[in-house]
Amino acid sequence: MLNNKIALITGASRGIGYIISKIFIKNGAKVVGISRNEEELSKAKNELGENFFAYKCDVANEQEVAETIKSIKNDIGRIDVLVNNAGITSDNFLIRMKEEQFMKVIEVNLKGTFLVSKEVAKLMRKQKQGSIINISSVVGIEGNIAQANYSASKAGIIGLTKSMAKELTLKGEQIRVNAIAPGFIKTTMTENLDEKVKNHVVENSCLKKMGEAEDVANVALFLASNLSSYVTGQVIRVDGGLKL
């Protein structure tokens, strides 16, 4: 499905990003993985093999992002698919949340998506084609208690996705931009949730279970491939029919 495609994935060294990398490689892509954690990147490289190319980069740092994308262009030549997956949480109730706590999440999740997309879009416009996949969240649509910062960042990604989808076709380019909004997925980010919270999620979903990282990765595979050649500006929920 992705034969000979070059896919750049942020936050690729663990969780959903790692599984997306694994599934993309399995389907013929070469994956360029970005992460701030050099140790985790090295581990991912050892596990995923010769078709995984690791680059250390903080997506919230404008200079680092610009230099990293330039290096990728020089080393590999092009980027066909971008998956903006890098993200963090820092939960607290609104009245207790410090400005620093709010801005840290916005910087990584929303600003990071903007910075990487900006640089990659320059390459894709020259190529006249590409697919950008932004990882949002159902809480960016519904909101969530004690996650004002995370919800705001993921809602911002949805707005960014729709604007990018319109801008990046202004000169006839075939650059598709879509978002995936996962629900509660089994990852290191959710494994420490209180059992009562997990049970609530399960009971309030149509499918009565939490999702797997593979569920998100398979939708990303669809959006990265030519199977979705007429899909752009969309937000696809992968949440088992969750009712928050």
242 vs 225: which has the higher pLDDT: 225
Q: Of residues 18, 55, 150, 230, which has the active-site annotation? A: 150
Percent of the chain with pLDDT over 70: 98
Find the DSSP H helices in 4-147.
Answer: 15-26, 38-48, 62-76, 99-106, 112-127, 139-142
Q: How confident is the model at residue 195 (pLDDT cuts 50, 70, 90)?
A: confident
Strand order in the sheet with 174-182: 52-56, 30-35, 6-10, 81-84, 129-135, 174-182, 235-238
One-letter amino acid for residue 230 of the chain:
Y
- Mean of the per-residue pLDDT values for the chain? 95
Q: How confident is the model at residue 243 (pLDDT cuts 50, 70, 90)?
A: confident
Residue 49 annotated as binding?
A: no
Distance of alpha carbon 167 from alpha carbon 165, whole angstroms: 6
pLDDT of residue 192: 66
Residue 55 annotated as binding?
A: no
pLDDT of residue 244: 59
Domains of the chain in sequence order:
6-238 (3.40.50.720)
pLDDT of residue 200: 81
Residue 224 annotated as binding?
A: no
User: Is residue 93 pLDDT above 80, yes or no?
Assistant: yes
Q: Which long-range contacts (CB under 8 A, 24 or more apart) does 159-168 make?
A: 160/110, 160/113, 160/114, 160/117, 160/134, 161/134, 161/136, 161/233, 161/235, 162/233, 164/117, 164/121, 164/132, 165/232, 165/233, 166/233, 168/121, 168/124, 168/125, 168/132
Mean pLDDT of 88-100: 97
188 vs 207: which has the higher pLDDT: 207
User: Is residue 197 pLDDT above 90, yes or no?
Assistant: no
Out of 156-165, 185-194, 218-227, pick the least confident.
Answer: 185-194
Q: Tell me the pLDDT tens digit for each residue of 61-87.
A: 999 999 999 999 999 999 999 999 999
pLDDT of residue 135: 98
Say whether 150 is catalytic. yes
Q: Tell me the pLDDT tens digit for each residue of 181-191.
A: 999 998 876 76
- 3-state DSSP helix/strand/coil % of the chain, to nearest 5: 50, 20, 35
Query: Which residues, listed in sequence order, are joined to residue 131 by a DSSP beta bridge?
Result: 81, 176
Helix (H) or strand (E) holding 154, with range, is: helix 148-167
pTM: 0.96
Query: Which residues, listed in sequence order, are joined to residue 223 by a DSSP beta bridge?
Result: none
Residue 204 annotated as binding?
A: no
